[in-house]
Each structure stands twice: as C-alpha cells, then as structure tokens.
C-alpha cells in the first residue's frame, strides 16, 4: 500500500493540522512520480481530494465571565460511515488567542469520507491556568457535501461548573441545517512570469465562470500571510487544490487578481491552468 502525503503537519503551515488521514493510491502513481512525472502528481492531488472531505469548523465561546479557556481543545466528528478520530483544534484562522470570551474561532478539518455528519464530541484536556470553558455552539460546513450544520451547546466544560464534564457529545439542530449544491475540487496551477519584479506577496484570488452565467465565489488561493510570502515568486509554478461551486464541464473565463497592499504587491502573471475531475473520476 502506498500512502502519499506531500503536505505539512504543522500548526503554522497549510491548514494547521498536525495529524493527517491518508488514503492509499495505485502503485503506478508512485512509480510515475519517481520518474519526475509532474502530471501524475497533479492527478494524484485531485484524486486524493475527491476521496476526502474538508470541514470548516467554527467554535463560539460564550460571552460570560471566565468563559474562555487556555486548555487544549479537541473535536471528533461522527458520520454514518466512520469518524474522524480526535482532531486537535490548534490553528485558529480568526484569532491569535483561541477560545477567548465572546469570540468565534475557525478551523479546517480534513478527513476521508465519514458519510453524513450525525454528532460531534468536543472537549479539552484541562491543562493551563484558566481551563474552564463555556461553549456556546459549533458550526460545521462541509462544501463537498453541500451542508452546513449547527451544534448548539450553551454549557460549561469545567470540572467545577455544571455537571463537571470537560467533554460533551453534541447533536445538530435540524432546523438550523443549511443545504446547498455540493462543491467540487479544482486543481489550479499558477505560473508567475520570469521578469524583474514579477513576484507578489499580495492576497491572490480567483473566480471561475461557466456557461449560463454560473460562477464560483471569490476564493483566496493562500490560506495565510505566510503562504502569500512563499508563493507567487518570480518564475515559479504554484499549484492549489480548492473546493469551489461546480461551474460545469466548460469554463468560459476566469477572474484572477489580488487585493494590493504590502511592499511587493505588483504581479506579472504568465498563465493559469485549471483541471477538475469529471463525475466519472477522469
């Protein structure tokens, strides 16, 4: 069995996860890759993305005295087929200090297909100076499934409050579930030109347009400022696999640009290549 990864396991890189689930791939992919077949590697990224589900997890800490926690928080998602195992919520996209009073923290969780989301378990390890935590709610958005679910809690996870539990099993509120058309993975390869000053540190975004006026949301290609500094250098090729609305078999045009700002925002773009897996997996 071959389990390629080719991703960071680091809080400050990629999506911030330090544990990853890997799916096995055909031996032919690995052999092609060893012969420097970049095309094979690209296809592999799409194949793996199609087998996995990316969840955006938002966690709301209550607006009460001492509601925030310094403890390490973890979550497990349970589906109709499987569960994610314990996932540490370490890299908040919205706040440097996580789980502060009244704040919403956003995390990315990726796992193999666990089926329809049925319940979650969330808790903390009770370590640190201020460990008690009042959890208002958890919201989980799964673009590849076309579902956003709300898990209300409104209780303490604190050994000296409520029932003393520091982890809770929570179920979704059916009336607060949002359904929409599922997203699909696109592989977007960006080629920056080989001329003086071509690179940029700005926040680069893209929009895809299909026929009949269908278009995707505007999507930033970098997850954080660190990636913005690393990517889009002069004469570089950067590849991203992102989940976006399905615009159909024909992409009529794209809109790509950046948000300016910073010292080196000007960018000379050479070209963009885009691929997606067709519904039959090709």
CATH code, 2-38+182-276: 2.60.60.20
Q: Do domains 2-38+182-276 and 53-179 have the same CATH topology?
A: yes
- Treating both helix axes as pointing N-terminal to C-terminal, what angle do 38-51 and 27-34 enclose, rounded to 10 degrees? 150
For the chain, 282 residues long, the average pLDDT of each consecutive 10-residue run is 84 83 71 51 70 91 93 94 90 90 93 91 93 95 92 94 92 91 91 94 93 90 85 92 89 92 86 82 49
Q: Of 17, 235, 118, 1, which Cα lies nearest the Cα of 9? A: 17
Max Cα distance, the chain (Å): 64
Give the model's pLDDT for residue 244.
Answer: 92
What are the residues whose beta carbons fall under 8 Å from the beta carbon of 227, sequence distance 6 or more?
A: none
Give the model's pLDDT for residue 15.
Answer: 79
CB 151 within 8 A of CB 104: no
Give the model's pLDDT for residue 31.
Answer: 57
CATH class in words for 53-179? mainly beta
Domain ranges of the chain: 2-38+182-276, 53-179
Give the model's pLDDT for residue 101.
Answer: 95
Helices (H), the chain: 27-34, 38-51, 225-230
């Amino acid at each position: 069995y071959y389990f390629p990864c080719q991703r960071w396991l680091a809080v400050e890189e990629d999506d911030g996860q330090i544990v990853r689930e890997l799916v096995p791939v055909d031996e032919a992919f690995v052999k092609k890759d060893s012969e420097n077949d970049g095309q094979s590697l690209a296809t592999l990224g799409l194949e793996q993305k199609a087998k996995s589900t990316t969840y955006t997890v938002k966690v709301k800490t209550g607006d009460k005295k001492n509601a925030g926690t310094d403890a390490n928080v973890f979550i497990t998602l349970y589906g109709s087929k499987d569960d994610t195992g314990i996932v540490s919520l370490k890299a908040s996209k919205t706040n440097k200090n996580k789980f502060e009073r009244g704040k919403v923290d956003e995390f990315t969780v990726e796992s193999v297909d666990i089926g329809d989301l049925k319940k979650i378990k969330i808790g903390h390890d009770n370590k640190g100076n201020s460990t008690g935590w009042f959890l208002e709610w958890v919201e989980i958005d799964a673009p590849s499934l076309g579902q956003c679910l709300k898990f209300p809690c409104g209780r303490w996870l604190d050994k000296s409050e409520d029932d003393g539990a520091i982890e809770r099993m929570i179920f979704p509120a059916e009336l607060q579930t949002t359904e929409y058309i599922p997203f699909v993975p696109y592989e977007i390869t960006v080629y920056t030109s080989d001329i003086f000053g071509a690179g940029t540190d700005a926040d680069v975004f893209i929009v895809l347009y299909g026929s009949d006026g269908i278009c995707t949301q505007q999507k930033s290609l970098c997850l954080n400022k660190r990636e913005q500094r690393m990517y889009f250098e002069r004469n570089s090729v950067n590849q991203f696999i992102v989940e976006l609305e399905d615009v159909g078999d024909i992409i009529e045009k794209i809109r790509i640009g950046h948000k300016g700002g910073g010292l080196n925002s000007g960018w000379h773009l050479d070209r963009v290549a885009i691929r997606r897996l067709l519904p039959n997996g090709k």
